[in-house]
Chains A and B, each alone.
Chain A
Amino acid sequence: MLNSSLKQLSALLAQKEISSVELTCEFLKRIKALNPNYNAFITINEEMSLAQARNADAIIASGDAHPLTGIPIAQKDIFCTKGWLTTCGSKMLSNFISPYDAGVIEHFNKIGAVNIGKTNMDEFAMGSSNETSFYGPVKNPWNIATVPGGSSGGSACAVAARMAPAATGTDTGGSIRQPAALCGVSGIKPTYGLVSRYGMIAFASSLDQGGPIAKSAADLALMLNVMVGFDPRDSTTLQREKEDYTHDLGKPLDGLRIGLPREYFVKEMSDDVARAVEAAITEYRKLGAKTVEISLPNTKLSIPVYYVLAPAEASSNLSRFDGVRYGYRAPKYTDLNDMYQKSRAQGFGAEVKRRILIGTYVLSHGYYDAYYIQAQKLRRLIAQDFIEAFKQCDIIMGPTSPTTAFSLGEKSNDPLRMYLSDAYTIATNLAGLPGMSIPAGFGNEGKPVGLHIIGNYFSEAQMLNVAYQYQQVMDWHAQMPFTQ
């Protein structure tokens, strides 16, 4: 059952082979056994999960079930969940019981999915290793001395260690794809604007996008079917006709043009990652695809542009945490200003403060044009590179991360080195394009390698099929770590 696909679990539920309550208990039992070692979950609430499972069983009995009714889903602790502690990995929200549900959570509730727990993450989604969480780092189940990636490290770990059949994540600069790659699971960040950001605690609003992490492309398609949808409460969601993301699964890949950006296959990529990615591309040629070399000339600018835009938007978004209406308030202070300063100094961790300071600086008087506006202009150049590239190819491939999982503590005191681990994923967020990562084998020491697939705007169904076809002939995605 641990390795079953969402479709298989759904069939077991429909045939009454198992109830949602039994399924939920099974996963809760596994979480209780494994989580002390992996720290993938911040909150487990057995009572609330089981109440949802009982409700799901009633829906199934009435014959009104959706494919994901009764399936336990791990929710990243960035999604506000009514009645649940919602911390965003921060001391600032360590006492925040959300009074409302995020749009994404509403979608899952509506179809009767079960929330199996809230997953650990880098504080306010700022990090690439899960080490900035107030709740301590998550361990990579393939090698517990290494990081799971971040910021959705808890979700990726939960799926990899089979503590949940699927999970939600969010991706601002690679936070779904990089942990999926490092943990050997599949994850997709949809086109910006497809998934509601309502109740998804904001980091950088023009880049943040929710998406699923799961064991396979077919499972991701079912998850996307639930998560995508216009939300009038998020002014950046797009009004589009509802799409079934499974509709392309099964189409042959004959004639598919895969673009290989010459800027991605460079010395920064480690040898073991390069070998696995090249082997995956060889496999795609066997499936009928052809490869074309393309160029994304402004790739190098992605990281500098991102580290202006994301901190600028974060400094604005995080100004709401003032110790007045909710969240942490310092125990001692002299006046109002002191209360703000101490609450924020004590409530935020080092990386979050660093980014707020960068953001405040680039938005401050006299610097706005030189930094923020310049970064927004370069963002357009980066997006145009992709638009040009997609005239020559249907899909772009490369490595998700330049290396496999690095050791805990290896980069945590060197923010600049940490930032470079997102070198391949950031441009996708800047352009607003969909991106995904799927397991493509193992590098040195048996650590998973992720293949990065970038599609054109709104081409999620096609991308999912591209991943699906590979997963029909290769079984990397079906392998699971030895868990203890």
Chain B
Amino acid sequence: MSLSLDDVKRVANLARIEVGEDEARATLAQLTGIFSLIEQMQAVDTSAIKPMSHPQDAVQRLRDDVVTETDQHKLFQSIAPQVEARFYLVPKVIE
């Protein structure tokens, strides 16, 4: 598998990270090196193996469906970039 410059730009867009042309080229060179390492994984037949997501194979706990959070919007919004009347402000998205 080989990565292309378009792949880098597509992925950067998916990740919402602006990359310039030069940066994309430099990134391509580095990612190509890293993926050549990652490709070693493909040599192993894993068809009979179950994926592992938690070392103890623990399952998600359930809890009672009750409200546990208190309203702390003043505290949380005091560190927000832009807030008005309890709302987080962002550039207009609907015309």
Interface residues of A (CB under 8 A from B): 95-97, 99, 191-193, 206, 232, 235-236, 238, 300-301, 303-305, 307-308, 315, 319, 322-327, 329, 333-342, 344-345, 348, 353-354, 356-358, 360-362, 364, 370-371, 373-381, 383, 415-416, 419, 431-433, 457
Interface SS of chain B: loop
Q: Residue B56 contacts which of A95, A192, A327 (CB distance < 8 angstroms)? A: A192
- CB nearest to B7 among chain A residues: A361
Which residues of chain B have C-beta atoms less than 8 A from A192's C-beta? 54-56
Task: Give the distance to chain B from A339, nearest Cβ to Cβ, in Å.
Answer: 6
> Contacts A304-B40, A307-B34, A348-B17 hold; do A380 and B79 have CB atoms under 8 A apart?
no
- CB nearest to B88 among chain A residues: A324
Instruction: Please tell me if B66 contacts chain A, counting CB pairs below 8 Å.
Output: no
> Contacts A193-B58, A238-B56 hold; do A326 and B80 have CB atoms under 8 A apart?
yes
Number of B residues with CB within 8 Å of any CB on chain A = 51
Which residues of chain A have C-beta atoms less than 8 A from B75's C-beta? 99
Which residues of chain A have C-beta atoms less than 8 A from B52's C-beta? 376-377, 379-380, 383
Q: In the docked arrangement, what's the CA distance between A96 and B18, Å?
A: 23
Q: In the docked arrangement, what's the CA distance between A84 and B78, Å?
A: 14
Please report the number of residue pairs spanning A and B whose Cβ atoms sit closer than 8 angstroms.
163
Which residues of chain B have C-beta atoms less than 8 A from A323's C-beta? 81
Task: Give the distance to chain B from A351, nearest Cβ to Cβ, in Å.
Answer: 10
Q: Residue A360 contacts which of B11, B46, B93 (CB distance < 8 angstroms)? A: B11
Task: Give the distance to chain A from B53, nearest Cβ to Cβ, in Å.
Answer: 6
- CB nearest to A415 among chain B residues: B30
- CB nearest to A209 among chain B residues: B55
Which residues of chain A have C-beta atoms less than 8 A from B40's C-beta? 300-301, 304
> Contacts A301-B40, A307-B34, A348-B17 hold; do A99 and B11 have CB atoms under 8 A apart?
no
A344 touches B16 (CB 8 A): yes
A193 touches B55 (CB 8 A): yes
Task: Give the distance to chain B from A210, nearest Cβ to Cβ, in Å.
Answer: 15
Interface residues of B (CB under 8 A from A): 3, 7-8, 11-19, 27, 30-31, 33-35, 37-42, 44, 46, 49-56, 58, 60-61, 63, 72, 75-76, 78-82, 88, 90-93
Q: Residue A431 contacts which of B37, B44, B55, B90 (CB distance < 8 angstroms)? A: B55
In the complex, 9 of the A-B residue pairs with CB atoms within 8 angstroms, ordered by the A residue number, are A324-B80, A341-B13, A344-B17, A345-B18, A353-B27, A356-B17, A360-B11, A371-B41, A374-B41
Task: Give the distance to chain B from A333, nearest Cβ to Cβ, in Å.
Answer: 7
Q: In the docked arrangement, what's the CA distance between A171 and B14, Å?
A: 28
Q: In the docked arrangement, what's the CA distance between A337 and B14, Å?
A: 11
The winner among B12, B18, B63 for most chain A CB atoms within 10 A is B18
Which residues of chain A have C-beta atoms less than 8 A from B33's C-beta? 415-416
Task: Give the distance to chain B from A86, nearest Cβ to Cβ, in Å.
Answer: 10
B58 touches A354 (CB 8 A): no
Q: In the docked arrangement, what's the CA distance between A339 and B12, Å?
A: 14
B31 touches A357 (CB 8 A): yes
